[in-house]
Structure 1
Amino acid sequence: MTKEQKIAGFDPSQPGLADASIFGLPFTAEESEIIVVPAPWEVTVSYGAGASEGPEAVLEASFQVDLQHQEFPELWKQGIYFDSNAQIDEWAANSAKFKAMAQPVIKALESGKDIAGDAALQADLDAINIACGEFKDQLRKRVLDWMEQGKKVVLLGGDHSTPLGYYEALASKHDNFGLLHLDAHMDLRIAYEGFTYSHASIMYNALQLPQISKIVQVGIRDFCQQEVDVVKEQGSRVKVFTDTDLKAESFEGRTWKQQCDAIIEALPQKVCISFDIDGLYPWYCPNTGTPVPGGFSFEQAAYLFSRLAESGKEIIGFDLVEVAPGENDDWDGNVGARMLFHMCGILAKNNKMDVGGKISF
């Protein structure tokens, strides 16, 4: 059966096909324009857990997402495919293995112990850093394999350490791009708790890629002195829109539209979006790893992304990370699935795919 025949025979008003790919779509990887690469990895988490289960939670929730999106009513016809194979299963197994190994290291550091003076703990820390580096390299290769097939590839974490290999893949294709980074945290710590590839170090590690010419951080509301120092050292390469400043401007009459335009103006021509779900108000994803009071609404984030898609900038990819399912509800997964669908929509529209016209009532 051809893709056209599948489209003709598929009813988007019915619940998604449970035995199909993400969002219940009937298309194969070859028939899909967008590939979602899951990264079930959270080795270095020091507070909260569950992000490694985020991709599966988003996948399960995706079957309940109505495909008649107001902005992108025909997005589903482009095809979105959830990558899966034995290597990704191995990532999940290794995440659990090395996360267990990391916990004594973290506890020792939090109690003030010098890891360098404990041969066993230092050996474990070294092994963890090696494993995280290997995961990064494997992820980069997998993303590049899909890119070489002409696919638009997006990353679904996992904790916020996971996109580094994805950024390296993008850097091999684009010599100048920026990151639009939505988050409660700056993630500019240097080898946090001794972990080279810590979730709290992702943006510092991204800055080591010369192809990333700018990082624009939005919604930041938690940071340390070391991170402030990094921002100052980087000069104009890092632009920070803190939650405090954005809220103060809004209280004094500046609209979100005006703020979004300033954020977009600060970005270079090519943009990758990095969205840590804890950038949202905590009640949207209450089980995310390190919740912080404040944030922005789902609609504010979606509006910013939609405005970016129409701005003339080129969106080259995105990652969505730190979705962690709750034990007694599917709320985090549902929010993550709907944000993922919207982000796929803005990626498709920005890249001139036919997603249909906005529905007006």
Structure 2
Amino acid sequence: ATTSYRPGTRSGPEAIAAASHQIDLFDRTFGRPYKAGFSLIEDPRFQTWNDEARALSEPIIDCGGHIGEDANAQKALDRVNEIGESVRQATREFTSNCLQQGKLPAILGGDHSVPQGAMEVCAEAYPGLGILHIDAHADLRVAFEGFQYSHASILHNVLEAATGVSKLVQVGLRDVGSRELTRIETDPRILAIFDEEWSAARMGGKQLQELVRSTIAQLPHDVYITFDIDGLDPTLCPGTGTPVPGGLLWPEAMLILSELAQSGRRIVGFDLCEVSPGGGPDPEGEGWDAIVGARMLYKLCGCALHKSQTA
């Protein structure tokens, strides 16, 4: 609901589910992850919350969050933040239930504000948790446009709320604000691999694999993956809300997941966000964004369930 540019991520999960029907369940890298058993649980509250929050947030977004002394706008902003807290609590509850049952929690968004509660709970359950964040943006803004639970603020919020997070590794960054850059440079918990460094390694051939391995080496044993689809090259996600030139090619994203799985680290949870079929529902799953999103979701499942991980 706080998407600041192009809306449509609300339709992402439905489109991904539809597109998933044409995925071959055998994967050359991860084998047959489906044998672990997957379940997609829909929570109708999220649609209700989104509808209300989007209607309230659009006028605020249109003015860049500069509402001045407009009492009605402030009331709307307060309500959107209340809804954001409801989403946070709902994802906390879902994640806690999964962990209590020995299941792997995964959140399928929606915009990138959704999985905050999941990361918090995983950090509480696994002290010293590392977060692998793949994104075009750092998401370290403070209450972007006034929204406490903005998609542009989620990693700031997690670092503030989840003291159990020991490391945040960000890959794919190429659209970062000056204050975010200062935070990255001064917070010892954060390691950022910017697109310029990534591209230089890409052109160096084998240097890219070396960069991936050295980056993964900075992560602790327990890892949560938060994957914003706009971390990829926009030819792979043309409908996403805030596309940025550059980014990871598909084989490069697969290299990260493969190397992470082979490293023996334990994936304790993950999310996939910001997949948008481009302005509306895609019930047939025919859109390119949905096809890429469905395949990425299956790859994330494979990475998280890989047999080389240790408890």
- Please give the TM-score of this superposition, normalised by the length of structure 1: 0.81
1:96 to 42, 46, 51: 51
The residue number in structure 2 matching 1:306 is 258
1:62 to 20, 40, 46: 20
Between the aligned partners of 1:48 and 1:92, the Cα distance in structure 2 is 18
Aligned-pair CA distance for 1:233? 2.9
The residue number in structure 1 matching 2:200 is 248
Q: Deviations over 1:40-77 (max 9, x none)?
A: xxx11110111111111111111111112112332222
Q: Deviations over 1:7-55 (max 9, x none)?
A: xxxxxxxxxxxxxxxxxxxxxxxxxxxxxxxxxxxx1111011111111
The residue number in structure 2 matching 1:40 is none
| Structure whose alpha-carbon radius of gyration is higher | 1
Asked whether the 8 Å contact 1:154–1:318 carries over to 2, the reply is yes
The residue number in structure 1 matching 2:82 is 130
- Cα distance 1:127–1:261, how it changes in 2: closer, same or farther (>3 A)? same
3-state SS in 2 of match to 1:239: strand
The residue number in structure 1 matching 2:8 is 50
Between the aligned partners of 2:299 and 2:267, the Cα distance in structure 1 is 14
Aligned-pair CA distance for 1:223? 0.7
Aligned-pair CA distance for 1:350? 4.6
Q: Deviations over 1:173-218 (max 9, x none)?
A: 1111111111111111110000001000011111111111111111
Between the aligned partners of 2:39 and 2:153, the Cα distance in structure 1 is 29
- Please give the TM-score of this superposition, normalised by the length of structure 2: 0.93
Structure 2 residue 178 is matched with structure 1 residue 220:
no
Asked whether the 8 Å contact 2:265–2:309 carries over to 1, the reply is no
The residue number in structure 2 matching 1:330 is 287
Between the aligned partners of 1:188 and 1:116, the Cα distance in structure 2 is 24
The residue number in structure 2 matching 1:348 is 305
The residue number in structure 2 matching 1:30 is none
Runs of 4 or more, structure 1, over 4 Å off, are 350-353
The residue number in structure 2 matching 1:109 is 64
Root mean square deviation of aligned Cα: 1.7
The residue number in structure 2 matching 1:233 is 186
Q: Which amino acid aligns with 1:343?
A: L
Between the aligned partners of 2:2 and 2:163, the Cα distance in structure 1 is 25
Between the aligned partners of 2:173 and 2:31, the Cα distance in structure 1 is 32
Asked whether the 8 Å contact 2:212–2:256 carries over to 1, the reply is yes
Structure 2 residue 164 is matched with structure 1 residue 211:
yes
1:257 to 209, 230, 235: 209
Asked whether the 8 Å contact 1:315–1:351 carries over to 2, the reply is no
What percentage of residue pairs aligned between the two structures are identical? Answer: 40
Between the aligned partners of 2:14 and 2:113, the Cα distance in structure 1 is 18
Aligned-pair CA distance for 1:274? 0.9
3-state SS in 1 of match to 2:106: strand
Q: Deviations over 1:119-165 (max 9, x none)?
A: 11011101110110111111111221122111111111111111101
The residue number in structure 2 matching 1:38 is none
Higher relative contact order (CA 8 A, sep 6+): 2
3-state SS in 1 of match to 2:168: strand
Between the aligned partners of 2:107 and 2:229, the Cα distance in structure 1 is 13
Aligned-pair CA distance for 1:253? 4.9
Between the aligned partners of 1:61 and 1:292, the Cα distance in structure 2 is 24
3-state SS in 1 of match to 2:237: coil
Structure 1: which 5+ runs fail to align? 1-42, 354-361
Structure 2: which 5+ runs fail to align? none
Between the aligned partners of 1:79 and 1:298, the Cα distance in structure 2 is 25
- Cα distance 1:116–1:257, how it changes in 2: closer, same or farther (>3 A)? same
Q: Deviations over 1:197-247 (max 9, x none)?
A: 10000111111111111111111000111111211331x211110011111
3-state SS in 1 of match to 2:18: helix
Between the aligned partners of 1:101 and 1:83, the Cα distance in structure 2 is 27
Q: Which amino acid aligns with 1:69?
A: D
Between the aligned partners of 1:345 and 1:250, the Cα distance in structure 2 is 25
Between the aligned partners of 2:23 and 2:72, the Cα distance in structure 1 is 48
Q: Which amino acid aligns with 2:251?
A: E
Aligned-pair CA distance for 1:109? 3.0
The residue number in structure 2 matching 1:200 is 152
Between the aligned partners of 1:237 and 1:117, the Cα distance in structure 2 is 37
